[in-house]
């Protein structure tokens, strides 16, 4: 069947050439955290990390490279992005342009299916989807490893949103060996992330700035030196589906990262009083027999990692603890997916 060119995603009007693709990637929550870089220019992390993708939270991003554009453009949820967001996306497009040997500018439109400003980081899903769509639009079919390497350059945690399920990001020692790969598929172990949204405020210090201050804490060296042991314990616990082994290491790793944040100069406090209330309640619920542990990223919201059988009870108990807490639930998610793409035809 002959398809009109528009349906192929390729549009040639008035001699304007455009290459388009759309991709989707999920957010992820780290069990062993990435905090601090050995080389911030290429986001080469201080330590390897481990996460699970979040099925319920994703970004869907369309990229159109066009020779009619004189600069990059960015819409987020159909609104023009703030200048800082456009600058960061444009810097990532520069990396991709260099890699793809292209001089074209891009029109980027990204939709998050979770409320922006819910205090849930969107940079992992956003930069993973952007990297896949931007490279596919120009006809590049990169390996998972190549995509993960490139996504890392946009936002470190985006490297982990390329592979499926439970994902390890190998810190590596240089650009070419710092990438993520899956250690288990989403259905290997039905965990859930029950997120207690404690504040919707935008974080006062974003993670890029935060990474830059990590080395000012006297605790960072110890955290990094001991991260490999925690990573190994967490991987073994996941592969053995052993919640009792996973819970303490996930909480310890989160506490250590926040100890580094709190002792950095200037100090960064992401926890709010309500975060601590939820953390203590989670430990109490675990003592009572529920499979639940907590972890927090660079914000006050508490991710309650649960055995799927206990997720509904945990969600209800969070509401009992404080009816103002909004609860978002997510199962384990898959890897980044290409939804549509044309091929470069010139
Ligand atoms: O990818 P970034 O630069 O947003 O850093 C993520 C940092 C944490 O979310 C705090 C930890 C992690 O490993 O995801």
Output the pLDDT for position 105. Answer: 98
In the beta sheet, which residues pair with residue 22?
62, 340
Which atom of ligand 1 lies at the shortest distance from residue 34's CA?
A: 13
Nearest to 186 by CA among 167, 170, 168: 167
Question: What are the pLDDT digits (tens) for 16-26?
Answer: 899 999 999 99
What the block records as the tokens of 277 is 């209330």
- Work out the end-to-end distance of the chain between its first and last CA atoms, rounded to an integer number of angstroms: 22
Residue with tokens 């192929």: 8
- Our mutation pick for probing the ligand 1 site, out of 34, 48, 211, 213, counting the most ligand atoms within 8 A of Cβ, is 34
Asked if residue 321 lies in contact with residue 278, where contact means CB atoms within 8 angstroms, the answer is yes
H-state helical runs in the chain: 83-100, 123-137, 144-154, 207-213, 220-239, 243-262, 273-287, 311-321
Q: 13-27, 108-122, 253-267: which has the highest mean pLDDT?
A: 253-267
* Residue 85 CB contacts under 8 Å (≥ 6 apart), including other chains: 74, 76
User: pTM (2 decimals)?
Assistant: 0.93
Average pLDDT estimate for 242-256: 98
| Nearest residue (CA) to ligand 1, atom 6 | 157
4 pLDDT band, cuts 50/70/90, is very low
Length of the chain: 346
- How close is the Cα of 206 to the center of ligand 1, in Å? 10
Strands (DSSP E) contained in 101-206 are 105-112, 166-170, 179-184, 191-197
* CB neighbours of residue 87 within 10 Å: 13
Output the pLDDT for position 117. Answer: 61
CA angle 179-180-182, nearest 5°?
A: 155
Quick check: bond before 266 cis, omega within 30? yes
* Residue 322 CB contacts under 8 Å (≥ 6 apart), including other chains: 274, 277
- How close is the Cα of 111 to the center of ligand 1, in Å? 20
| Nearest residue (CA) to ligand 1, atom 8 | 297
| Nearest residue (CA) to ligand 1, atom 10 | 297
- How close is the Cα of 198 to the center of ligand 1, in Å? 19
Which atom of ligand 1 lies at the shortest distance from residue 43's CA?
A: 3
Question: What are the pLDDT digits (tens) for 32-90?
Answer: 999 999 999 999 999 999 999 999 999 999 999 999 999 999 999 999 999 999 999 99
Which atom of ligand 1 lies at the shortest distance from residue 49's CA?
A: 13
3-state SS class at 310: helix
């Amino acid at each position: 069947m002959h398809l009109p060119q528009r349906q192929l995603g390729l549009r040639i009007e008035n001699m304007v050439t455009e290459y388009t693709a759309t991709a989707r990637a999920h957010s992820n929550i780290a069990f062993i955290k990435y905090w601090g870089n050995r080389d911030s220019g290429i986001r080469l992390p201080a330590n390897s990390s481990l996460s699970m993708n979040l099925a319920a939270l994703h970004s869907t991003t369309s990229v159109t490279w066009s020779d009619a554009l004189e600069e990059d453009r960015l819409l987020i949820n159909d609104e023009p992005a703030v200048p800082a967001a456009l600058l960061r996306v444009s810097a990532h497009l520069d990396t991709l342009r260099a890699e793809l040997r292209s001089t074209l500018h891009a029109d980027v439109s990204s939709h998050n299916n979770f409320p922006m400003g819910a205090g849930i980081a969107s940079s992992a899903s956003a930069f993973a989807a952007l990297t896949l769509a931007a490279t596919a639009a120009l006809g590049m079919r990169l390996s998972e490893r190549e995509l993960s390497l490139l996504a890392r350059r946009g936002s470190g945690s985006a490297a982990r949103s390329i592979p499926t399920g439970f994902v390890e990001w190998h810190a590596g020692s240089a650009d070419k060996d710092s990438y993520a790969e899956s250690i288990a598929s989403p259905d290997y172990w039905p965990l859930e992330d029950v997120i207690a949204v404690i504040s919707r405020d935008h974080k006062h210090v974003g993670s890029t700035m935060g990474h830059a201050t990590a080395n000012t804490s006297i605790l960072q060296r110890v955290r990094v030196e001991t991260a490999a042991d925690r990573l190994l314990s967490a991987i073994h616990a996941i592969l053995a589906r052993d919640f009792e082994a996973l819970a303490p290491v996930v909480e310890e790793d989160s506490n250590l990262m926040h100890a580094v944040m709190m002792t950095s100069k200037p100090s960064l406090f992401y926890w709010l009083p309500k975060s601590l209330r939820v953390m203590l309640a989670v430990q109490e619920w675990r003592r009572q027999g529920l499979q639940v542990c907590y972890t927090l990223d660079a914000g006050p919201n508490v991710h309650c990692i649960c055995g799927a059988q206990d997720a509904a009870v945990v969600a209800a108990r969070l509401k009992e603890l404080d009816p103002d807490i909004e609860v978002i639930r997510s199962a384990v998610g898959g890897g980044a997916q290409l939804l549509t793409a044309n091929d470069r035809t010139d």
